[in-house]
Structure 1
């Protein structure tokens, strides 16, 4: 079996852009006609710059090769240009192409990918969602704790047993920083009102995205401990595991991290330093399914758990669901509500969500197929914004105090 061709689809996500501004899907086809689909989660460059890189990696390291030889492809791309070090852009590309290879392998074998990654451990997967509260005008409003509490009740009624939110101010190019007293008050108010609204019917997940320096994260964590969050996510910027470990040692709240990390090497440092006990790799960035499986196994030896990150499209979600089903130390999986709306429209059959759980497909491969008619209606992406962007100005205390109101 040999891989013969590549198609890349940059899909524009319609407003309100839940899941990012665009999704990058790749389709591989073998000479014998088996097609596999993958997703690339790469945020640092515009798709017009990324697509030629995808084609370059495909031509150099995958075209004409057997899709079963995952390790060969991974090492060739990881070593490209005499690098042999974690690179989020290269690993994002590798992830999407590698996922598509697994889809082909599963279809060829007539088995779901989970069966090829060690077999199903979890027949259903506990899921959580961010809160997406709307105000009276019908617009999303993420800064109002009362709206967040109302939305939390609605999500619990839909079956979710964990809910995530991030009221800790904007992410800026200059984070981490000290949070203002006003922002810390707002964070505590969110936790207090959501906990009061849902009681012990669901966990609260306090999501931050590297906004803080360690001392600020510790100050905030001490305020939040009484609300017993399941985790305190990425409290400091990625890349300094000892700094995150300083936070982890100072709080009873479990620290989670990983959406911006890639390869087993970066996650090894997190585990070795004791920086986090919950790993949130994104399979569409971390290096693919096999790399994610290795990281999960490494975490198992540290008694750490896995809670895959997913703020992108449904192909990455389908791959991550297959991984999670075969992962003994799986904790919970990120969902974007019930994966309906546009996540469901780009697939011929939407991902299976049932009363707070994601149900892994038992179809061969990833168990999903793209709806090419819908893709044609939403390609190419013509915007200038990247998938996600940070504020360009440093954090300002007065601005943060004003934001509280």
Structure 2
């Protein structure tokens, strides 16, 4: 092939709506949906061409985290992803507070891939795998027995999943007399004001605000400060529950455990030691991720892998857990950890400490596909969470991907440009607008001229 023919062949794969170096960000808009499986703020970043990038704010977070930095990115070339992220990353923080900057970062990768005509994973250095193992999160009614829970997990395996996660913790003990010890009346208050109130309510009347404040006060008490203990009866119950699930499923399939509850490190260790014999894939978020010394204590006291990380922002904040050998598995979320590139950096950092990376994901197909590309490009990747197996319209939110997106427990890594999503299905999105948050891709000009002297040094 002649040189000119090679150039023409290459250009055939480049989206020439506009020369990439001429692209500018012109707008950012949102639509809030609910039930996929939780509240999600879907994002579009517009450019001075026909290219639009798809992003998303972290599940159960506010789009305000993204709106507040809109004026910092208007007029910038969206292909300068790292430059833009470094400008706005000071406005992110742990948990949901980084959802805005991470969602923007994802949308920028989508635009850049579309501009150059290549998938995101290729811009990260290529892929290690052609399909991504999904692990299925399994919400289980706390009133079900371990036998019934095991059958529910078994149904996941019958759909092709090769790793499943289920909840096993103090939520199962709420109605078991004598299973929990806590300050009198505290557990009754916890049941009377469940955290779901925060996800459903957007009312602004005084009574609703008072209710939300009550929920915040109760459920934002960190593990060492609740005073909740598991009694021997409670430990017996949870161990029996684990045995029944394993009996239904068998020991040949990895099972991970989540939502153990806000209990102190001593009871975490007692429970972990009881569960060691059941060969679980990992125990997740036993204590707040910041408590490095407690993670070290737990890891040394049991033989089950310990996992955390979905609420950690930026790679340097994973370092204490890795250096101390406090975890065997890290679990970043694309929409909290810093986005696509930061997640790959986190995975590479963990690999230096012989630690595997699973990826947390409880969002729409947008965040899912961002995680898919990162997982494809990261060698020590283990499995990507899927929290929407029971949401029949989840795959319908987007166009251009296989349907359903998850097939036999895997997602095929797309070779199409950007994230691989050709369009969002506005008709389906319109059917699932979050109650109390009306509007679909409404104008956001009110945020165009926010300004402050953002520099963090003199």
The TM-score, its normalising length taken from structure 1, stands at: 0.84
Match of 2:428 in 1: 374
User: Could you tell me how far apart the structure 2 residues matched to 1:107 and 1:180 are?
Assistant: 56
- State the 1:3 CA deviation: 1.0
State the Cα distance separating 1:163 from its structure 2 match.
1.5
Q: Give the 5 Å matches for 1:193-212.
A: 193-208=244-259, 211-212=262-263
For residues 269 and 190 of structure 1, the distance between their equivalents in structure 2, rounded to whole angstroms, comes to 34
Shift of 1:108: 1.1
Separation of aligned partners in 2, 1:345 and 1:2? 30
Q: Aligned residues, how many?
A: 362
More divergent stretch after superposition (282-291 vs 352-361):
352-361
TM-fit CA distance, 1:146: 2.0
Give yes or no for the alignment of 1:8 onto 2:30.
yes
Q: Distance in 2 between matches of 1:194 and 1:93?
A: 39
**Contact 2:370 2:419 (8 Å CA) reproduced:** yes
Aligned to 1:341: 392
Distance 2:49 2:133 in 1: 38
Q: 1:35 aligns with which of 37, 52, 57?
A: 52
Alignment of 1:179-258 (within 5 A): 179-208=230-259, 211-258=262-309
Query: 1:267 and 1:211 mapped to 2: Cα distance?
Result: 21
| Alignment partner, residue 159 of structure 2 | 158
Contact kept, 8 Å, 2:40 with 2:59, in 1: the verdict is: no
Q: Look up the SS of the partner of 1:161 in the other structure.
A: coil
Indicate the residue corresponding to 1:58 in structure 2: 70
- After superposition, the C-alpha distances for 1:107-129 in whole angstroms (9 at most, x for unaligned) are 11111111111111011222211
Residues 265-297 of structure 1: per-residue CA shift (max 9 Å, x gap): 211122122221211100011111011111111
Q: Distance in 2 between matches of 1:192 and 1:128?
A: 21
Distance 2:236 2:221 in 1: 22
Counterpart Cα distance in 2 of 1:351 and 1:265: 36
Q: Residue 286 of structure 1 aligns with which residue?
A: 337
After superposition, what is the alpha-carbon deviation per residue over 1:303-357, rounded to whole angstroms, capped at 9, x for unaligned?
1111000122221111101110111000111112548513112122445322222
Distance across 2 between alignment mates of 1:97 and 1:186: 45
Residues 230 and 310 (structure 1), Cα distance of their counterparts in 2 relative to 1, 3 Å cut: same
Instruction: Name which of 413, 421, 426 aligns with 1:360.
Output: 413
Which position in structure 2 is the counterpart of 1:136? none
CA deviations 1:229-272 (Å, max 9, x no partner) are 11111111221111111101111111011111111121112212
Match of 2:328 in 1: 277
The normalised TM-score by structure 2 is 0.74
> How far is the alpha carbon of 1:183 from its aligned partner?
3.4
The within-5 A match list for 1:259-274 is 259-274=310-325
Alignment of 1:113-128 (within 5 A): 113-128=120-135
Distance 1:131 1:175 in 2: 25
Q: 1:165–1:205: 8 Å Cα contact kept in structure 2? A: yes
Question: Does 2:73 match 1:73?
Answer: no
Counterparts of 1:76 and 1:142 in 2: how far apart (Å)? 48
Q: Which runs of 5+ in 2 are unaligned?
A: 1-22, 172-194, 196-218, 438-458
Which has the higher mean CA deviation after the structures are superposed, 334-343 or 116-125? Answer: 334-343
Q: Distance in 1 between matches of 2:394 and 2:107?
A: 18
Q: Distance in 2 between matches of 1:290 and 1:219?
A: 38
Q: Contact 1:23–1:312 at 8 Å: present in 2 too?
A: yes
SS in 1 for 2:43: strand
Helix, strand or coil for the counterpart of 1:332? strand
Larger Rg: 2
Say whether 1:19 aligns with 2:37: yes
The residue that corresponds to 1:130 in the other structure is 137
Contact 1:38-1:97 at 8 Å conserved across structures: yes
Deviation at 1:143, TM superposition (A): 4.3
Contiguous gaps of at least 5 residues in structure 1: 134-139, 384-405
What SS does the corresponding residue of 2:168 show, helix, strand or coil?
Answer: coil
Aligned to 2:220: 173
- Give the Cα separation in 2 of the matches to 1:187 and 1:250: 19
Go from structure 1 to structure 2 and tell me whether the alpha carbon gap of 1:143 and 1:262 turns closer, same or farther (over 3 Å shift): farther
